[in-house]
């Protein structure tokens, strides 16, 4: 039960961070925003490890775990989260979050095609359910600016789906890294290393990926929202998910962590005043049901 609760804590953490990111993105570019939150979150996590006397665990990690954690950070937090922020900026929390949370479906595909696990009827039904939920979320009522809205919606949905693929790869690598040293201290150290690796790489590449150095110009509420969002998502959220792998099976932890859409629709209405239609709510619920159908039946 502890592992399941930790996975649910990850889902709640990512819901809160999505709201904070959306607010920051009103005044910041996605790439600049990602560099800021990665750099600040990395510094805070390293400071936390040092204060609690666990920095030695970080430098004593096995090489396999170090490699997996670093690649996981580059794929998931570098490519994946940048695409995620682009999607949030284009289509909002209520639409983007449910689509990105289809990552368990892709985790399943890696298992089927790379490991050779059998395809069962629940898997097929779950996949079709998820696709239908995405279709509902990607539909827009006709308006006077219908063509423009459709282009934005399609692009936002594409970014969200690409995010889900990146996250699925990243999560699989994190699970492999944690299995090398399955305890609380190493889970915290692996998560810190994961964030730090992509933070350093992002800063090194900033003259190329953020040519006007927008991350250095971040001020006020946008900066505060990104720092808070980074700590909640990269500190609490990913630590909860990482440690849940120690206490329960990945096939249980991953779908529970993907229930974020159930909270994101409410958050979009309450905190961001987004227009959340019945189609959005139904699509979110259908996606989550499809995920559970695949992993729980």
State the sign of the Cα–Cα–Cα–Cα dihedral 280, 286, 289, 293: negative
pLDDT of residue 139: 62
User: CA 170 to CA 116: how far, in whole Å?
Assistant: 20
pLDDT of residue 97: 80
pLDDT of residue 269: 67
Residues of the chain with pLDDT under 70: 111, 114-119, 123, 137-148, 182, 250-252, 262, 265-266, 268-269, 272, 274, 276, 294-297
- With CA atoms as reference, report the closest residue to 276 among 95, 90, 25: 95
Tokens 């990665």 found at? 38
User: CA 180 to CA 177: how far, in whole Å?
Assistant: 5
Q: Which domain holds residue 176?
A: 2-296
- With CA atoms as reference, report the closest residue to 133 among 296, 18, 292, 19: 292
| Four-CA torsion 209, 15, 99, 281, nearest 10 degrees | -140
pLDDT of residue 165: 94
Q: How many separate domains does the chain show?
A: 1
Q: Return the ∠ at Cα 276 (arms to 275 and 282), rounded to 5°.
A: 160
pLDDT of residue 137: 67
Six-digit token string for 237: 């959220």
User: CA 268 to CA 137: how far, in whole Å?
Assistant: 14
């Amino acid at each position: 039960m502890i592992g399941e609760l930790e996975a649910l804590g990850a889902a709640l953490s990512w819901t809160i961070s999505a709201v904070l990111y959306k607010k920051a993105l009103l005044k910041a570019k996605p790439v600049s925003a990602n560099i800021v939150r990665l750099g600040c979150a990395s510094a805070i996590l390293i400071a936390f490890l040092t204060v609690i006397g666990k920095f030695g665990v970080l430098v004593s990690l096995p090489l396999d775990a170090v490699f997996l954690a670093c690649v996981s950070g580059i794929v998931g937090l570098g490519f994946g989260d940048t695409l995620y922020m682009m999607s949030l900026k284009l289509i909002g929390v209520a639409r983007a979050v449910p689509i990105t949370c289809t990552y368990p479906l892709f985790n399943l595909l890696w298992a089927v095609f790379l490991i050779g696990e059998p395809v069962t009827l629940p898997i097929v039904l779950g996949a079709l359910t998820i696709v239908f939920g995405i279709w509902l979320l990607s539909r827009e009522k006709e308006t006077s600016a219908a063509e423009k809205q459709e282009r934005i919606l399609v692009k936002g949905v594409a970014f969200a789906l690409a995010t889900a693929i990146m996250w699925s790869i990243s999560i699989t690598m994190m699970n492999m890294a944690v299995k090398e040293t399955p305890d609380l201290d190493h889970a915290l150290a692996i998560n810190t290393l994961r964030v730090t690796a992509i933070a350093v790489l992002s800063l090194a590449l900033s003259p190329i990926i953020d040519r006007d150095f927008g991350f250095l110009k971040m001020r006020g509420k946008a900066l505060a929202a990104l720092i808070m969002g980074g700590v909640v998502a990269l500190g609490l959220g990913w630590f909860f998910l990482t440690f849940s792998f120690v206490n329960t099976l990945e096939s249980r932890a991953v779908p529970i962590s993907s229930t974020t859409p159930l909270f994101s629709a409410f958050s979009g209405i309450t905190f961001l005043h987004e227009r959340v239609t019945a189609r959005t709510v139904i699509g979110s619920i259908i996606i989550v049901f499809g995920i559970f159908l695949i992993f729980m039946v």
